[in-house]
Structure 1
Amino acid sequence: MGSRNFTTLFGAESTAAEVIAGVDLTGRRAVVTGGASGIGVETARALASAGAQVTLAVRDLAVGARTAEDITATTGNKDIHVHPLDLADQASVAAFTAAWDGPLHILVNNAGVMASPELRTPEGWELQFATNHLGHFALSTGLHAALAQDGGARVVAVSSSAHHRSPVVFDDIHFRERPYEPWSAYGQSKTANVLFAVEAAKRWAADGITANALMPGGIRTNLQRHVSDEELARLRAQAAGGTELKWKTTEQGAATSVLLAASPLLEGVSGRYFEDCNEAVRGELGARTGVAEYALDTEAATLLWQVSHDTLGTRD
């Protein structure tokens, strides 16, 4: 049996606004990847509502600009910035980290691609792993000095219960030997997000940086653009085992991200995986609940960190 270690009074139906209520982020700087769509918008809006300076790291600057205007209009916070970032393009990631100046207090690795057809980066890397993990790994390590500058920084990795579908297959991460399967590739990348948080928590503890991963819940967003309605219905029915799985609103879907990014309740908590604003039960996997043992495996986390550096040609 697993054990639930960290609980809050928030739950599956809590919204980002409820989680951030009473929190003052004045003088704090945040980056939200994919901050112009889906739960990224509501994550950014909540942080902005608490007074943070928020940078939306996005692929589409026009959409980002419209989102920034909307966030300013709803929160009154004019300190919203938009900066280009394509996580599948290492030159774009490097440009973003090089342009960052001064401390960074909150990094929400939110952007992602789900169940795409077989696509590869120019380097030959499988796109979902390259985007969801390697891009965020390069971004986070590239911003490490900024995160360490003031102490008390938080890194948030948006994972998914889809991590249940696959561990990181170190022998063939990029599907060069095995047949490509979209959901296995997505699951592997989401496991990598959790393992990243586990290792970052250990490596960066001395810098006062905490890192946690989360499952936001089932939300209809642009993330599912590669998944047909029929496929989605089939997967939901299969996962639910005959019961109805409820969709969350984007405001509810952003709540756990915001909790990890900003709530004083999470002070000093690191290297864990959350769902519905509470720590998930380890090793007890439901349709959308629980965290797989392999996603919290410390040896796999250390290996992934090294493999990621080797793949990117970088080092700490």
Structure 2
Amino acid sequence: MTSTLNTSILVLGAGELGMAVLREVAVMAAPRDVRVTVLLRPATLQSTAADKQKDLAELRALGIELLAGDLVNDSQTDLAAVFAPFDTVISCIGFAAGPGTQRKLARAAIEGGVKRFVPWQFGVNYDVIGRGSAQDLFDEQLDVRDLLRAQHGTQWIIVSTGMFTSFLFEPSFGVVDLAQNTVHALGDWDTAVTVTTPKDIGRLTAQIVFAEPPIANQVVYTAGDTLTYGQLADTVDTALGRTVTRVRWSIPELQSDLSKAPEDSLKKYRVVFAQGKGVAWDPANTFNAQRQIAVTGVAEWIRHNLKAPLTSV
């Protein structure tokens, strides 16, 4: 029997994570006769860009309904009216939407009487990190948690996934710098980080949303991998058949870098992850481990995405 929390599901956004969530939710929804809708900006629905057209065609093929809306510019009350017909709303709209958006979406879900809301919290353990961290965006995530915990009309699920696995290899982030054949440790070599791929987050989020008995009013953890920066360097060496240069970025060094560019978001992230608080957890205690769901670790991600050793510059 389909839970009344799942008779109609609205997903906000169809970026990298949104598409991953939509694909997996659609697969689980189809045999249960569950209606799945995605909210997209009018400009996206009208776009003639090849990549947008491809995504829209895939969504339609999956049986997903397309709904126009502007999560950034529409008012909370307008969004509440959009959300109201849906039992479950899953937000895949991240920080790029701008400050205040996460709070507005949570308030709109509550005002609209949504039965269950899954906010954009696909990241670290904000409760442990606390307020006033180097990454000021995280305070809004705590505001969202406070809003949800303070009310009883809308159930909620927070899915904590750690960092996107690919972000470890993002050149601008600088942890794995393959062009320079270098791995940087944030904080120290025994500082740990938890990561999950967007594809796995999509699959696990769908499983969490459709879990029986229903999951409600709790933080659910996932992990594709939890490893120290020393283990990350070892993994890169083994997977790519090379020996990387290892450079430690100490917390004072990273804080000094941030003080010289206080608006640099990547530098803010480096400081938070270097401090190692709330950014890693034991994979054995995760939803995927408890349900015995296979996920992609860092070594496997490297093999699939960085198949051949790269020539350093």
- The TM-score normalised by the length of structure 2 is 0.54
What is the DSSP-based 3-state SS (H/G/I as helix, E as strand, rest coil) of the residue aligned with 2:86? coil
Residue equivalent to 1:139: 108
Q: Gapped runs of 5+ residues in structure 1?
A: 1-21, 117-126, 148-152, 170-180, 278-283, 291-316
Consecutive unaligned residues of structure 2, counting only runs of 5 or more, are 177-182, 224-275, 283-313
Residue 28 of structure 1 and its aligned partner are, at CA, apart by: 1.6
1:155 to 117, 142, 148: 117
Aligned to 1:111: 93
One-letter code aligned to 2:25: L
Deviation by residue 1:211-267 (Cα, 9 ceiling, x = unmatched): 12121332268xx7xx973435289832674478575332202234323322224x2
Change (3 A) 1:100 1:112: closer
Q: How far did 1:99 drift?
A: 4.5
Alignment identity in percent? 11
Matches within 5 A, 1:1-316: 28-34=7-13, 36-49=14-27, 50-51=29-30, 52-59=34-41, 60-61=44-45, 62=47, 66-73=54-61, 75=62, 77=63, 79-87=64-72, 89-91=73-75, 93-99=76-82, 103-113=85-95, 127-128=98-99, 130-132=100-102, 134-144=103-113, 147=114, 153-159=115-121, 160-161=123-124, 163=126, 167-168=130-131, 183-200=134-151, 203-204=152-153, 209-219=154-164, 229-231=171-173, 233=175, 237-238=185-186, 241-242=189-190, 245=193, 247-265=195-213, 267=214, 269-276=215-222, 285-289=277-281
Distance change (3 Å), C-alpha of 1:24 and 1:90: closer
CA distance in 2, matches of 1:97, 1:199: 18
Q: Distance in 1 between matches of 2:185 and 2:83?
A: 44
Q: Closer, same or farther in 2 for the Cα pair 1:110/1:28, shift >3 Å? A: same
In structure 2, do the counterparts of structure 1 residues 131 and 64 end up closer, same or farther at CA, with 3 Å as the change threshold?
A: farther
Q: Relative to structure 1, is the Cα distance of residues 251 and 236 closer, same or farther in structure 2, using a 3 angstrom cutoff?
A: farther
Query: Deviation per CA, 1:20-45, whole angstroms, max 9, x where unpaired?
Result: xx9899982111112x1122112122
The alignment yields a C-alpha RMSD, in angstroms, of 4.0
* Bigger strand fraction: 2
Q: Residue 164 of structure 2 aligns to a residue in which SS?
A: coil
Q: For 1:188, give the aligned amino acid.
A: D
Aligned AA for 1:135? K
Residue type at the aligned position of 2:66: H
Which whole-Å CA distance do the structure 2 matches of 1:100 and 1:194 have between them?
19
- Structure with more relative contact order (C-alpha pairs < 8 Å, separation 6 or more): 1
Residues 65 and 82 of structure 1 are in contact (CA less than 8 Å); yes or no, is this contact kept in structure 2? no
